[in-house]
Amino acid sequence: MKPLILALWVVFACGDLRAQTNVWQPSPGHTQVPIWPGAVPDAQPVPGPEYVTNVLSPSGVSWIAACNVSLPTMTVYSPKGTNTGVAVVVFPGGGYNCLAIDLEGTEICDWLTSRGITAVLLKYRVPTRGSGAYAESTLALEDAQRTVGLVRFHAAEWHIDPHKIGVIGFSAGGHMVTAMSTHFDKRLYPAVDAADKESCRPDFAMALYPGHLWKDDKNFELNPNVPVTTNTPPTFLVQAENDPVDNVNNSLVYYQALKNAGVPVELHLYAQGGHGFGLRRTKYPITEWPHLVETWLGTIGMISE
């Protein structure tokens, strides 16, 4: 991945607005709640108060960035109409610097609920950086582990099948999908309540234009921070070959690792599409990816075909 490119977008758009204190709020009828009952584990300082602002990417796509998130939250979006019993935790991208909270967050939730799927939007901590063996974002992964456990803990209350809980993410959020798919055996934080005794392994995973997977942007090696095993969940991958931010090798190297481990995986590569397209309609065939996801969910037994 080229994090500098995304960082420059965000700094240019947000750098002069740090005095803002407008915190992202979901649409009426939805409530975001803290995922941690007390102190946030391994808390680190952020540059200033949380705020949201508009960002215009080089490709002309406008999106809302949630910045300086130090108190992670989740927002549950219930299905519209028939409930399939399936739930998906949504990880927006943003290079672990901010969150594309609408483009890769609320808009994804609206699509999922229209298909009878419970969507849980995670507003994870940013900006964050990891250290040691896990160099991407340890804090964001803690938030993700906690949230999947919470969804499984509340499955009966939220009318969810505890064996049909998946994750979807975009760009850095796509990387977190792979991190969750390979780091579920042990929490990165001490258990705080009964929810942390639930499994945080996703039952299926969907990563779109993921980053941080092609090790050092050289050779054809998977980042060792995402150790694929036979227990990695079935995975769906989408990326454009002309992606200017995350080289297509990120998807290719992960796909190959999944195949080598015998994990069911479906990969869709397109010549055109760029980066950060989300659900926004374009003139390119890649814009039809949601229909492919819906078909795939049927083939792996999550929804009725």
Strands, E, within the chain: which ranges? 32-34, 51-56, 62-67, 73-77, 87-91, 98-100, 118-123, 165-170, 204-208, 235-240, 265-270
In the DSSP assignment, the letter for residue 71 is S
Q: Could you report the per-residue pLDDT of 61-101, keeping only the tens digit for each?
A: 899 999 999 999 999 999 988 999 999 999 999 999 999 99
Q: Are 106 and 90 in contact (CB under 8 A)?
A: no
* Whether residue 233 has a cis bond before it, omega within 30° of 0: no
pLDDT tops 80 at residue 295: yes
pTM of the shown model? 0.92
Domain at 32-46+68-299: CATH code: 3.40.50.1820
User: Would you call 198 helix, strand, or coil by DSSP?
Assistant: coil
Ordered by start, the domain boundaries in the chain are: 32-46+68-299
Other Cβ atoms closer than 10 A to 82: 9
Q: Could you report the per-residue pLDDT of 241-270, keeping only the tens digit for each?
A: 999 999 999 999 999 999 999 999 999 999
